[in-house]
Structure 1
Amino acid sequence: MNAIRQSCLIALLPFAMLVSSVQAEGMSIADTVYKIPLAEDVSMDEAVDSMLLRANTLNFKMVSHLPLYQELESMGVETRRIEIFQFCDARIAHEMLQENIDFSAYLPCRITLIEDDDGQAWLTTLDLNQVIGMAGLPASLMDRAISVRDTIEEIMTAGATGDL
């Protein structure tokens, strides 16, 4: 369990750094997040199945899955469902890292399935427009970054609509 907690903390470090930077610029944490609600007729399990299928179709590998709610429940913490999925296209990741190792803080792409206090399920991720806008990428990598953003958003849309 200690390794899982450590993994969670390490995974959150890039976001903590982004939040402190964003707050200095007068933005809120919500300004850095892209999120969409699940349709009323889509269960959370259906959303997961749809995301995994769409990621596979788009050649984005799921490299990690953390059912955080299960870890919390095993510790006696009452919680709503929270699952973190991490996806990656290794070739694009390699290109980005060749350009600038700072991109390592944003790898792999993360999508969280989370239920709010009202029972509404959401899919959330880092708003890649924020990162892309400040990255200063050459045109060839800018196209790749936009492709990653579009792919993550397509995976999320498939999940939110239950589109298999």
Structure 2
Amino acid sequence: MGFLRNLLALVGAIAVAGGLYAYTKLGPVIAEFDPGATDMYRGFAEQLIKHKDPGVAMMWQVEVEEGISVEDVKESLKSLAAARNFLFVGEAPFYKQVQAVTGKPFRHVEFLSFCDARVGAMMADYRDEYTGFMPCRVSIVEGKDGKIRLFSMNLDMMIYGGKALPPELKSEALRVSKIIQEIMQGAAQGEF
């Protein structure tokens, strides 16, 4: 019994020492993170645990109401973006590329790209790596179940995931994030 007690005490002491070491090493680094980082990582972890897939955890998803066609969704996204001064900069009909390569029909998967050049320039000036987030994309996907859904990258990790962004860039990134979510929600309901 004494051996077991001593063994458990040793394991406990090692765990406490490890925790203190991690706190002293990581504490100063985490203190530099954006104040919203903890909530963002918690939400990401919840989605990751729920779906067991980081790709799902990193995306916004909106299901399109039945009866709304893919063409209506596309036009709605473009119209809603234009009303918010969010420039439509291109589309990539992936399903057509798959058909061309395989010779077989493929369900509708298409990528629409949008950009606010002013915010894009701010991001590029802040860090070259942030150009990887540009342009903002919304995919229109006919699922294997026949339902149409919209997907876009959740920008919260870029906005909150590390060292706080400069205030003006953070404000503009939050505005762009809101616009993307608004146009997805609106298009899914058939708004123009």
TM-based fold match above 0.5 = yes
Query: Which aligned segments of 4 or more residues in structure 1 are displaced greater than 6 angstroms?
Result: none
Moved more, 150-159 or 111-120: 150-159
2:173 & 2:74 partners in 1: Cα distance? 24
* TM-score between both structures, scaled by the size of structure 1: 0.80
Provide the residue aligned with 1:92 in structure 2: 119
2:104 & 2:54 partners in 1: Cα distance? 28
Provide the residue aligned with 1:153 in structure 2: 181
1:74 deviation in Å? 2.1
1:81 & 1:143 partners in 2: Cα distance? 35
- Partner of residue 61 from structure 1, selected from 87, 91, 103: 87
1:83 & 1:146 partners in 2: Cα distance? 25
2:99 & 2:152 partners in 1: Cα distance? 23
Provide the residue aligned with 2:157 in structure 1: 130
Structure 2 counterpart of 1:127, one-letter code: N
CA offset digits 1:26-84 (Å, max 9, x no partner): 86211101010001131111111110101111111111210111121122133100110
CA offset digits 1:127-151 (Å, max 9, x no partner): 1112211253022211111001001
Alignment of 1:85-124 (within 5 A): 85-124=112-151
Moved more, 146-155 or 132-141: 132-141
1:63 & 1:79 partners in 2: Cα distance? 24
2:132 & 2:119 partners in 1: Cα distance? 15
- Partner of residue 78 from structure 1, selected from 105, 113, 121: 105
Percentage identity across aligned positions?
Answer: 27
1:153 & 1:143 partners in 2: Cα distance? 16
2:93 & 2:186 partners in 1: Cα distance? 20
Partner SS state of residue 161, structure 2: helix
Q: Contact conserved, 1:114 with 1:121, CA < 8 A, in 2?
A: yes
**Larger Rg computed on CA atoms:** 2
1:88 & 1:158 partners in 2: Cα distance? 18
Moved more, 92-101 or 135-144: 135-144
* TM-score between both structures, scaled by the size of structure 2: 0.69
| Structure 1: gaps spanning 5 or more residues | 1-21
Q: Contact conserved, 1:47 with 1:158, CA < 8 A, in 2?
A: no
Partner SS state of residue 78, structure 1: coil
